[in-house]
Chains A and B, each alone.
Chain A
Amino acid sequence: MSDEQKILIVGAGPAGTRAAELLSGRGLRPIVVDEAPASGGQIYRRQPPGFLRAARLRYCFEAAKAEALHACFDGLTERIDYRPDTSVWSIEDNVAFTLGPGGVERIPFEALILCTGAVDRVIPIPGWTLPGVFTMGGAQIALKAQGCAVGRRVAFLGSGPLLYLVAYQYARAGASVAAVLDTARLGDALPVLPGLFAGGSLLAKGLWYQNWLRLKGVRLRRGVLPVAIAGEERVSGLRYRSGNGRERRIECDAVAFGWGVKSECQLAELAGCEMRFDGAARQWLPVSDDDGRAGVAGVYLAGDGAGVMGADAAEYRGELAALALLSERGAAVDDRRRRYLKARLGRLTRFRIAIDRALPYPDGLAAAQPDDTIVCRCEGVTAGDIRHGQSLEPAEINRAKAYTRLGMGRCQGRMCGLAAAEILAHHNGVGLAEIGRLRGQAPVKPLHIGIAGQAARDDPDRAASI
């Protein structure tokens, strides 16, 4: 295949794996670039070679799916151009710029399937920058991949599907679970029970984890309002208000917190995808149709990076995007398979909507944080800076960025951007969409000048002089 016909898949999680499987099965040889040393994505992240924790401990009910996906990918390596430990940090003019063990490389492509996944959604609360505080996903990765707990006595705070699962995994691994504090109330789940049943076993699993924890005597609380993570040098406790409004404190040496995940879409933005505010997701998302076509020639989106729907959906969406790509090239595709995948996806979509209502993101929690709460941890910008920084009307997040340095640090707003937008929107009495978004720019992640400079293509005379 010549350069001009290359297919590039970014990400080797559930979506990227299924896309690669389909395309390689049709005699194409996609390039698969993945940041991790092994395939699986975050959800099915593998342990390093030589680590021997059983799959059922690492992936629980999902162990069989994880192992199937890993086996699928491992079976492809002869038929794909696989580049692990490699990240894509820019895309322009149908070229992806990567950073991997060999330095910076350019990958020209004709078609691109972005399977960039998702990252924890955090709400900055007082004390969240203390050592010992981890995002929920980070805490799970530590255990899943490295066999490490983030603390001896860990409190779990947030809402979303990971909350009880990770607490369960920690307890099973021998860590002491100080408490599981759910900001969702039981009442949130009742009106959407029919939708939850659309997820079938997913609902049962969630209840099973809760029951297991309860039977082990773990403190489970719903409808809590976090007040602060306490500690001087590192975490020593967590203060919260219980459903009846009384303030409580639990002792712990680590906190895992998070409210679901948000799509990682910087590369889609750099690839030219139209970005649109999604009210349910509370973030700007790249636009794509339900086959994954992004509206930019040759660009397809799949998996949680195109809107969070979970790992099962990501497998379907990866395959659908590959099917769309094939049919765009005039290849015959199995229409029945496509309809089947879409039907499965539809069912998961209904479940997703119900999940989001049953385990709601706590509207107003970010906006309610006191002025001295650090929001942008890279630059030490507080909620008060965002609210009261000298600015020009109307409020807009890039303007707040200019005045406060919010989002100007190493993470470029990936961690704090959404919470900052909520604080700004609430303070100014406008909707989130009106606040705008922190625009993605290259490099998507920090890039070493010395290494990247070696890839410059100046003619030798020019390169040698200044």
Chain B
Amino acid sequence: MSRIESEIAVIDTEIAVIGGGIAGLSTALHVALRGVPVVVLESRQAGAAASGVNFGGVRRNGRALAELELAARAIEIWHRLPELVGNDCEYSVTGHLKVARNDDDMATMAAHAEAQAPYGCAVEMISRNALMARYPWFSDAAYGAAWCASDGQANPRLLGPAFARAARANGADIREHEPVAALEKDGDGFLLRCDSGLEVRARQVVNAAGAWGARVAGWLGEAVELWPMMPQMVVTEPAPYFIEPALGVVGGDVYVRQIPRGNIIFGGRSGTADLDEGFGHAMTEEALGALQRTALVIPRMAEMNIIRLWSGVEGCTPDQLPVLGPSATTPGVIHAFGFSGHGFCLGPGVGAVVAELALDGETRTAIDAFDIRRFQS
């Protein structure tokens, strides 16, 4: 982006994307790859909110059935990241363990594994003995597990900037620190007004505003309940590499992965956030409980030091499925927000789907379950 360009107060484009998280940036890349002008308006830094500070799981194990097809499409893109964005974002197929606490968990997961099978996602149930034989570092708290060998993990801090850079290289106009204040109909298109005075005229608009997505939907008369969720992460100093798979314990409180460098990244419960302020804050008090309980599952971690906490803001819907698809009130607007903590894995695929919706009017991926009208009684 040249400096001269950034001084132009009015931009005409085909597609304006509100929100420069992974959903919006992937949309921009997929639109730009088809030669269509696209502008992304990000209120802060590209890929810096939920997209950049999450756990980094790329998995289908235990995922809601409604998301499996979209996840499969995303994972296909994850494998192509080096060609697509010039960076593998440390994506690594390490497998994922969903760890059971008791017999009930095992039964629930076994049923889910069976239901997932038709989606081409193989999940193997592992007994306690087999689990301990494979991963002797678990404590007795691990009762068994569901194992998905095709799952993996990646570095969230790399993904957003990589998509932004690739989108720019293909002609997308990515604007950071450019919060959108208003969205209006303008002839047969839209006018977006930014706090800075910048105005963007676009034929279509994509609402990829994450935790702020319900505000944008509200401008269109579409009420969606969206709660901010602030997953908090903890990281240890480097330790000898021993946790190859990413793992999560049923119930969601304990989830852990280790990178080959040696640092262990794990869930620290919830931070706090003020949506108007725009970012999440880590919460020490919350983290203490997570330290204790994670060490109950992997006792070896009790002897390690943590070096940082962080948190970010994500939007959570009542059914914890995203809002993805055309606006119910306003033709020309496509929603892609409210990923409820699932957006990192899905994000690359979301952009491919939204680009198809915008440019072809339809997508080959099943997204009916994500229709915004499900929240309108």
Contacts and interface: CB of A to CB of B under 8 A. Distances in A.
B237 A456 contact: no
Contacts of B236: 449
Contacts of A442: 282, 284, 287, 308-309
Classify chain A: how many residues form its interface, as a range: 35 or more
Contact of B158 (A402, A409, A452, A453): A402
B161 A402 contact: yes
A378 to B, nearest CB: 9
Interface in A403-461: 403, 405, 408-410, 412, 441-443, 446-450, 452-458
Contacts of B283: 92
Contacts of A390: 86-87, 165
Given A446-B306, A447-B305, A449-B305, A104 B288 contact: yes
A443 B309 contact: yes
Nearest to B294: A449
A78 interface: no
A52 interface: no
A391 B236 CA distance: 25
Contacts of B287: 442
B301 interface: yes
B309 A410 contact: no
Nearest to A96: B284
A97 B284 contact: yes
B321 interface: no
Interface in B150-170: 155, 157-158, 161, 164-165
B289 A463 contact: yes
B106 interface: no
Contacts of A342: none
B28 interface: no
Contact of B292 (A392, A393, A410, A458): A458
A412 B288 contact: no
A95 B158 CA distance: 34
B9 interface: no
Contacts of A399: 45, 161
A356 interface: no
B305 A448 contact: yes
B288 A455 contact: yes
A463 B293 contact: yes
Nearest to A454: B292
B165 A409 contact: no
Max count, chain B CB within 10 A of own CB: residue among A95, A446, A447: A447
A126 to B, nearest CB: 24
B165 A443 contact: no
Contacts of A408: 263, 308
B269 to A, nearest CB: 10
Nearest to B52: A402
A2 interface: no
A398 to B, nearest CB: 8
Contacts of B296: 466
A455 B238 CA distance: 23
Contact of A453 (B161, B164, B292, B309): B292
B254 A443 contact: no
B274 interface: no
Contacts of A97: 284
A90 interface: yes
Contacts of A457: 285, 288-289
B203 interface: no
Nearest to B297: A466
A456 B308 contact: no
A92 B285 contact: yes
The residue in B158, B254, B263, B306 that gathers the most chain A C-beta atoms within 10 A of its C-beta is B306
B291 interface: yes
A453 B101 contact: no
A446 B287 CA distance: 14
A405 B235 CA distance: 13
17 contacts: A92-B283, A104-B288, A390-B165, A392-B165, A408-B263, A441-B310, A446-B237, A448-B303, A448-B305, A449-B304, A453-B302, A454-B292, A457-B285, A457-B288, A458-B289, A462-B289, A465-B101
Interface of B: 1, 45-46, 52, 86-87, 101, 141, 155, 157-158, 161, 164-165, 236-238, 249, 251, 253-254, 261, 263, 281-285, 287-289, 291-297, 301-310
Interface of A: 90, 92-93, 95, 97, 104, 390-393, 396, 398-399, 401-403, 405, 408-410, 412, 441-443, 446-450, 452-458, 462-463, 465-466
